[in-house]
Structure 1
Amino acid sequence: MAWAEKMSSGRFRGGYRNPDGRKLYVTDGGRGYERKKDAKDVAQECEVQARRRAAVDEDRLLASVTWGEWWDAIGDAKTTDGDTDTARVVRNIVSAQLRPKWGNVPLNKIRHKLVKKWVEEEELKVRPRMSPEYVHRVFGLFKWSIKRAVDEEVLDASPCVGIKLPKRPDKPRAYISVSRAAKMGAFLREDYRDAVAFMLETGLRPGELCGLHADRIDFDTGWLEVVEVFVTRRRLIKPCPKDYDVRKVALSSKAMEIVRRRLGDRDPTAGCGQTHSDGTACHSPLVFLTIRGRVMSPKTLSDHITNASTKAKVTRQTAYAGRRGWFTRLAEGGLDPFAMAAQGGHSDVKQTTKYVQVTAAARARTLAALGEATPLTVIEGHRGAARGADPEVQPVKDSEIPDGEDVG
């Protein structure tokens, strides 16, 4: 039976016992719940899910279990980090698409023809204002849940095999090149200008950059360890990046120079001052702060980049365009795609290829491999220049940008 307890802050935490009898608590990221009822309701839900997970572990769930009950038993693998954008998208898909359709259907009653009809004729059929990408995302989550049932031997086979999904258009995505970053830099303050430059040197996701702690930088070996992420909506630090893929990224001399400049003479043991979702005490400062000393949030960073790209009259950019720019630079430089995937935090090389954008340099290398002479091409980020290259643009002084533009 779940219960609620009052915390020292005056808010409430929910309590429940797992199947082994051990007491567990839910505290909404350490802050607690404002209402006692909310804390108890969340604890009750966690208790039910814990029992179902235990049933899975002990092979006590039968194929007659409904899809909704099955998701309650295994879905936490997709939504454990409930404060992230990805976790929220998963919850939305489950509540809007999957539960209404399959929630009350037993797993052993989900047939191939029913799934096929669902995708080709019913709710997932592509229609005006419905993106094929959304269909892939919804179906991918459903397919994952069924695969788990097969892996756990609840089902003998998957009804999702052989389902034909709508083709996703393979269109180029905006990316920040070195020359575009120089143009945009004229309309970025120093703090955001350094953030853009650092993304082009490391390929960090926006949340990873904003959550980067100084102790994750090893100046002796020249490697950065990606561990923490800043979660915008809850304004807290999550202890591991997307897909729990703690990884290392090689640091260029320019990247290390940026880190030294951003840290300045700050105390390296002062801590970041932000709540960590795992409850641990922090003893290292964040590398990237705004000029007012505030945390640089991913959304604010993206807003500044978008505004700068508009003012610089280049292709509209967002924060993720910096990550695509890094992948594209590595591809142009000839880095092995598996090394790119490892440092970029991708488990599948196919995912990495989506980040590499087609450039003039890529075309020149292809033609050269075919034995065709090509004109000299500037590889951005390398020494030297050629006629027609974008000139360096002198950035404006920080004092020339109105205070009102800083919302971070």
Structure 2
Amino acid sequence: MGYVADRWHKSRPKPDEPECGEHKGKVASSVHGKGKRWQARYDGPDGNERTSLHSTKAEAEAEIVRQESAKQTGSWLDPKAGAVTVERFALDSWLPAQNINARSHTEYLGALRRYLIPEWGNRQMRSIRPSEAGAWQQLLTSKYNLSGAYPNRVARYVRGIFKLAVDDRVIPISPFERIPAPTLVESAVHPPDVAEVRQLIAAAYRPMYAAMIEVTALTGLRSGELRGLAVDRIDFLRRTLRVDQQLVYEKGKGMYLDDVKTGAGRRLLPLPRRAVDVLAAHIAHAPPPQSGEWAGLVFMMPGGRPVGESTLDWALKNICRRAGVQPRHWHEIRHHYASVLIGGGENPKVVQKRLGHKDVMTTLRTYAHLFAEAEEQTRDVLDAAWALPGETDGQTESSATSGRIPESRAQEASIVQLNA
């Protein structure tokens, strides 16, 4: 249990010290009359003593009761913890807690330094109000001119900082608690179809690029995952491909192999026979290096260097021009893979797993219109399969108006039941 101390008077005065002129029976301390008189003293859950100043003794006693009660209920917060600045908590606590690779670390840090620290860096965590949180989110578009999905992404980072502060008991509640996040704007993807992908493969001016296009179209690998693919990740017998690393580039460090960004990114892909044949043919034609930093990499440039991201993008632009099709980004070939799965009737969870998305909502947001098209295709297939001669959209006029099963269809149903 804590206790209240009188700052203005000595607790153990010497016998010969003069009495305080304002308070009988007391001996004035060196801070008499300066600041608040009463000090509440109590131990925190960690055993360290905490103090706070109050104008009256009753206020100090009430503070001790409040803190002791908070410790018992598990709702205790260190009153001084919220004094940490936004910059220090973001960089020293939140960023190290993220399970991300070096490339994502650089991305997160850059976003914080561009959009958060200039606005709130020197502010205390506990000082940010909900109205300021909402206003800051507006700045992402009005001041920093961010567009598309990026305002939502940056806001997600910052909202995560304050959520962690709540979990760490630095602040009692996040200022973003009741503030909606910026709308996530996802532009509809229009991936190439099978015919266009075949055109790209045929127009590739190097066999390696043709193989990379076809493998991406058949597996949905990201650019870094494809360029970091090693032969020991391919099980030719079971026809599976293990995705757990990617080739990344970092300024000042160059290219290196790193883990994939998230746990969902680590996945085991089933390989169609065509993908197995393409990979086997490419490996036979251009065997991976047997030793060194890039040992086992399937796709290598002449001279023994891995394929850089910009190199691959530049190659695809040239291939699109040679094929006479619209310019494409490499990620659109990954979208092609997703569109084929969706068109074939795969459910969203399967598509999410194959693509390595963190959650199914990402898959649904990105390919919402493709799922809608697939649903309509399912209706058309069923209507066509069950249509009788003279019916339109699988329904006769009599059945559409009366809601009854036509006599001919009822007879068929009876025959089916008898045969069963």
Same fold (TM over 0.5): yes
Structure 2 CA distance, aligned partners of 1:239 and 1:223?
A: 21
For residue 78 of structure 1, report the CA deviation from its aligned partner: 4.3
1:371 is matched with 383
Structure 2 CA distance, aligned partners of 1:357 and 1:200?
A: 20
Structure 2 CA distance, aligned partners of 1:61 and 1:211?
A: 47
Structure 2 CA distance, aligned partners of 1:358 and 1:183?
A: 25
Alignment partner for residue 362 of structure 1, among 374, 381, 386?
374
Q: In the alignment, is the contact (CA less than 8 A) between 2:141 and 2:147 conserved in 1? A: no
- Tell me the SS of whatever aligns to 1:270: coil
1:255 is matched with 275
- Tell me the SS of whatever aligns to 1:249: strand
Between Structure 1 and Structure 2, the one with more helix by share is 2
For residue 186 of structure 1, report the CA deviation from its aligned partner: 3.3
- Tell me the SS of whatever aligns to 1:180: helix
2:89 is matched with 70
In the superposition, the TM-score normalised over structure 1's length comes to 0.66
- Tell me the SS of whatever aligns to 2:256: strand
Q: In the alignment, is the contact (CA less than 8 A) between 1:112 and 1:160 conserved in 2? A: yes
1:152 is matched with 168
Q: In the alignment, is the contact (CA less than 8 A) between 2:287 and 2:298 conserved in 1? A: no
Q: Which has the higher contact order (CA 8 A, sep 6+)?
A: 1
1:316 is matched with 327
Q: In the alignment, is the contact (CA less than 8 A) between 1:112 and 1:159 conserved in 2? A: yes
For residue 355 of structure 1, report the CA deviation from its aligned partner: 4.0
2:244 is matched with 227
For residue 60 of structure 1, report the CA deviation from its aligned partner: 11
When residues 272 and 170 of structure 1 are mapped into structure 2, their CA distance, relative to the original with a 3 A threshold, is same
2:392 is matched with none
Q: What does the per-residue CA deviation read over 1:225-281, in whole Å, with 9 as the maximum and x for residues that have no partner?
A: 11121113444433411224421111111111122122117777823633xxxxxxx
The amino acid of 2:86's aligned partner reads W
* Structure 2 residue 379 is the aligned partner of structure 1 residue 347: no
Q: In the alignment, is the contact (CA less than 8 A) between 2:156 and 2:181 conserved in 1? A: no
* Structure 2 residue 357 is the aligned partner of structure 1 residue 337: no
2:299 is matched with 288
* Structure 2 residue 155 is the aligned partner of structure 1 residue 136: no
For residue 75 of structure 1, report the CA deviation from its aligned partner: 0.7
Alignment partner for residue 215 of structure 2, among 198, 208, 225?
198
1:299 is matched with 310
Alignment partner for residue 196 of structure 2, among 174, 180, 186?
180
Unaligned runs of 5+ in 2: 1-77, 387-420
The amino acid of 1:365's aligned partner reads Q
Alignment partner for residue 92 of structure 1, among 98, 110, 117?
110
Q: How does 1:32-43 map to 2 (within 5 A)?
A: none
Q: In the alignment, is the contact (CA less than 8 A) between 1:217 and 1:224 conserved in 2? A: yes
When residues 291 and 264 of structure 1 are mapped into structure 2, their CA distance, relative to the original with a 3 A threshold, is farther
1:112 is matched with 130
The amino acid of 1:179's aligned partner reads A
* Structure 2 residue 262 is the aligned partner of structure 1 residue 243: yes
Structure 2 CA distance, aligned partners of 1:252 and 1:294?
A: 28
Structure 2 CA distance, aligned partners of 1:345 and 1:336?
A: 14
Q: What does the per-residue CA deviation read over 1:20-54, in whole Å, with 9 as the maximum and x for residues that have no partner?
A: xxxxxxxxxxxxxxxxxxxxxxxxxxxxxxxxxxx
Structure 2 CA distance, aligned partners of 1:267 and 1:119?
A: 51
Unaligned runs of 5+ in 1: 1-58, 275-283, 375-408
1:101 is matched with 119
Q: In the alignment, is the contact (CA less than 8 A) between 2:133 and 2:176 conserved in 1? A: yes
Number of residue pairs the alignment of both structures matches:
303
- Tell me the SS of whatever aligns to 1:238: strand
Q: How does 1:383-398 map to 2 (within 5 A)?
A: none
Structure 2 CA distance, aligned partners of 1:194 and 1:357?
A: 29
The amino acid of 1:176's aligned partner reads P
For residue 353 of structure 1, report the CA deviation from its aligned partner: 2.4
When residues 315 and 76 of structure 1 are mapped into structure 2, their CA distance, relative to the original with a 3 A threshold, is farther
For residue 132 of structure 1, report the CA deviation from its aligned partner: 4.4
Structure 2 CA distance, aligned partners of 1:91 and 1:345?
A: 24
When residues 265 and 366 of structure 1 are mapped into structure 2, their CA distance, relative to the original with a 3 A threshold, is closer
Q: In the alignment, is the contact (CA less than 8 A) between 1:216 and 1:226 conserved in 2? A: yes
The amino acid of 1:258's aligned partner reads V
In the superposition, the TM-score normalised over structure 2's length comes to 0.65
For residue 150 of structure 1, report the CA deviation from its aligned partner: 1.7
When residues 61 and 141 of structure 1 are mapped into structure 2, their CA distance, relative to the original with a 3 A threshold, is farther
The amino acid of 1:152's aligned partner reads D
The amino acid of 2:218's aligned partner reads E
Q: In the alignment, is the contact (CA less than 8 A) between 2:148 and 2:187 conserved in 1? A: no
Structure 1 CA distance, aligned partners of 2:172 and 2:355?
A: 36
Based on CA coordinates, which of the two structures has the bigger radius of gyration?
2
Q: In the alignment, is the contact (CA less than 8 A) between 1:211 and 1:229 conserved in 2? A: yes
Alignment partner for residue 211 of structure 1, among 209, 228, 241?
228
2:178 is matched with 162
For residue 291 of structure 1, report the CA deviation from its aligned partner: 5.4
Structure 2 CA distance, aligned partners of 1:368 and 1:104?
A: 60
